[in-house]
Structure 1
Amino acid sequence: MAASMSSKVLLSCFSTRVPCRFARSCRLVRNVHCTSVIATPAYDKEFEAAKTKLNSLKEDPGNEVKLQMYGLFKQATVGKCNTPKPGMMDMVGKVKWGAWNTLGDMSRDEAQKKYIELVNELAGAVAESETPTQTGKYSTLIVERDGKTFKITLNRPSKKNAITYEMYSEWVAALEEAAQDKSVTIAVITGAGDFFCSGNDLSNFANINPAEIGKMANQAKDVLMKFVTAFIDFPKPLIGLINGPAVGVSVTTLGLYDAVYASDRATFHTPFSHLGQSPEGCSSYIFPRLMGLAKANEMLLFNKKLTALEAFNRNLVTEIIPEQSFVEETDKKMKMFSELPPLTMQSAKNIIRSVDRETLHKVCERECNLLVERWQHPECMNAIMNFFTRKSNT
């Protein structure tokens, strides 16, 4: 689960003096408080309006954005960073200090402008990506039946379809429903908006006490094992329609699909080493078999982001389809596949998968055990801290 467990020690609410409607989630690191800044009369109306707009958002903008806003707010209200770097053990303080310090000599007016632009962009993105409330038992997915096709659409477009604990649970439930539905021949997974999936949502871990990291690491392991197992054991043809960029576990599990069709604008990224973590989704076993060891290592060890064409050449993608015709062409393919004899399809898949099924389960368990170790290691914590600092400056 890239960008996940060690982030628990970092994700406090990066708020300011401005009342933050998400401040009640700031329980992660005890005895660390949001820095207070006294507002000055120099604030213009747009800046005040941006603060009000931020607090009216219905959804937490995420810790990366809050960190960026923290630095801009400090620069806009105080000016250049004028406090010493926090000590080694104050990990949250160090990340917050870095977000402010890296703004250097940026003027207060420029910081106000960037803060206003960021809030307006955030509010606009949320408004554009809002979809009607889903009925039934799924709130993070759109689940549809089109003839004999069971279609699962990851439905958090404002968050690039980042995976929450709720989405993990619903995704597993949707696969189980598709497996049990006798009217379904094939299952399809795609994403809403411009991303397929951006990996794990870091806010999964925003309320975790550092003293409980070991416990939560093992709980996260259970979630991940159940998720990957649902792919390993899925009895019907499973097809990925990769409509845009894919990151982390949404990439590593692609080796467990039966076919993967990608838009020509899709990319595939597994930044494990950057984050002090290790591969999952059975990718440590499947990717070398698909790509060869050297090419797999380029992704899993050295963080290479693949284009759609590179993914095709490495056998991770079945076919590339132009973005402008992606939906139309894949709809036709899915309809054609769904009309094939269902029991014949299941029998064929079973004999293909049976050769490796036991091995895949063992690989999944080994990968998850290693991740539990990685999530608790200082190297991983430092990597996540650096990740947050980089994100706040982009």
Structure 2
Amino acid sequence: MTSSSLELEGRAFAERIFDTVRQLSVDTLGVTRQGYGPKETAVIDFLRSLGKELSLEERIDAAGNVWLTLAGKDRSLPAFVAGSHADSVPQGGNFDGLAGVAAAMLCAWWMRHTNFQPERDFSVLILRCEESSFFGKAYVGSLGMMGKLTAADLELKHRTEPVTLGEAIAACGLDPKQLTMGRPVIDTSKIAAFVELHIEQGPVLTSSADVRTGIVTGIRGNIRHKCVKAIGETAHSGAVDKAYRHDALMAAACLMHTMETHWQRFLDAGEDLVFTSGVFKTAPTAAISVIPGLVTFTIDMRSLSMDTCERFHALLVSEAERIGAERGVRFEFDAMLRTQPAALNQMLSERIAHAAKLCGIPVAHLASGAGHDSAVLGNAGIPTAMIFIANQNGSHNPDEAMELADFMRGTELLWRTVENYDK
């Protein structure tokens, strides 16, 4: 398959974005761009400077998200918007989020480069604070844009620093209370379509030699617990026989094994579900000769069906009660965090598929296991779709290895969708 003019001529602009942002946010391992933090702000300022170079109109909404707009022929029409988030997880990869922003910026660059004026406005949207790693709350920039943050969200503590989410937002010169009013701080009727290009954070596309680009069919919702406690009885490992133990670690391990068995049963029944406990800790006083009396762990279950998540969660709680009673251990669950699944706009996805046919890009159709800002915009009634591109070595780690050729091919698909949107 031959490369297009955009794929060939736009590489240097794309490399400039990725290289500069990496330099601005490099960490000991990978990159770190905390949402509403100084590194994210520095990256956004650099992207804003590119917008000035391209003579794009700039607007910053009340949530701090940046809109860079190339004027269309008919400005009364709602805009075509593309973009993603600028932040990263701690010591993560450089392409999660940034690839979508760079692709949108590259489309604007190509329009200037070729003197193309779209029928309607084209806006690059740079969203803040999509990742939940620092404050335990995902999609902060997009939820704030929709007025859907809560007072409790603003009180969430930073993972390592004595600052709340609300204080971090305020430190960027914003009023966090505006983001909790229950109504959008933007006019959503002025958005005709939102397309987010993103690296696939799983192995499907990178496992294929030919199909390296995807169209997302839906975004899984999730139910999470940041801290579940298994509370047993601390005791001497050599002095207490099995019958007298109240081992919190063994009880928690039994619960995990039991839920893995139920997970497979759900999958065998054809249900969409993933289940993870990503953090598992004994008490700070734990030692090799001590029976653990306290274990804390996280829970993350995701599905395209919230009914599936809710039934699996109810089963989790029921099994925790049963296992706890059998082993003399008590399980305590913190507040449930819930994110609804997002069904992406079928007509917009079909437009992307049509554009793929026009330019000869083979595409796969696949669900997104990870959450994205697209879910928030889509659930707010904005026609939303996603393009996935292959990425090596997974994501949320410093080893993300998106190949530039895959990025350029995905950007070509985004551009062709924009170019043909009003034809």
Structure richer in strand, relative to its length: 2
Structure richer in helix, relative to its length: 1
Whether these two folds match at TM > 0.5 is no
Report TM bin, short chain.
Answer: under 0.3
TM-score for the superposition, normalised by structure 2: 0.24
